[in-house]
Chain A
Amino acid sequence: DTGVSQDPRHKITKRGQNVTFRCDPISEHNRLYWYRQTLGQGPEFLTYFQNEAQLEKSRLLSDRFSAERPKGSFSTLEIQRTEQGDSAMYLCASSTWDTRTPYGYTFGSGTRLTVV
């Protein structure tokens, strides 16, 4: 499978616990994005990486959230001290460039987080 892979697909956790999600982008894509989608809404941007550098973080990304992309390959998104409001689908996407616009912007299947 040459698409964007996310793991796990589903995660149920108790409030206050820490969780970590993983995203494996399409191998030739140098840009990786994290989005959050709640029921009935469009995805909302959280953060993005160009290679290993994290270049922008949304104000939605509180101090409890941290993302990494070591060596510019896979990425992890960690949420510390989870709250019920963190329950959502966390989507990863990757893209490359073509004439200064994104090309092949592809989403993974997401990780659905439920905080109980």
Chain B
Amino acid sequence: GENVEQHPSTLSVQEGDSAVIKCTYSDSASNYFPWYKQELGKRPQLIIDIRSNVGEKKDQRIAVTLNKTAKHFSLHITETQPEDSAVYFCAASGGSNYKLTFGKGTLLTVNP
């Protein structure tokens, strides 16, 4: 089955700096790669996703890049703000059921 590795497990940045979180996946059939933000005690919320026919997608301060050959994808957050502090999960999905396989998460702390 699919295996998703996520790094780093914790990331601390100063407000205004950029943050990058990287994930690798194992199943070459995966074709959908969402990123979720989860605040303590709350539901995972989709912040951006990318499909395998696209190499990069951007939404304001958030961007995701996908390298299908290398089987890795990354989340980029620019001009970080304290409210960006949360746990971020990457996930990969493919095949007929489209279940999501998640990474273990990255705790992002943005220091004011």
> Which A residues fall within an 8 A CB radius of B?
31, 33, 35, 40-45, 48, 55-56, 91, 93, 95, 101-102, 105-110
Contact = CB atoms under 8 A, between A and B. Distances in A.
Given A42-B91, A101-B31, A101-B32, A48 B46 contact: no
B105 A101 contact: no
B99 A33 contact: yes
Tell me which of A42, A91, A108 has the highest count of chain B C-beta atoms within 10 A of its own C-beta.
A42
B100 A45 contact: yes
B18 to A, nearest CB: 23
Interface of B: 6, 31-32, 34, 36, 42-46, 49, 51, 89, 91, 93, 97-105
B46 A45 contact: no
Given A107-B43, A109-B42, A45 B32 contact: no
A31 B43 CA distance: 18
Contacts of B42: 109
Contacts of A109: 42-43
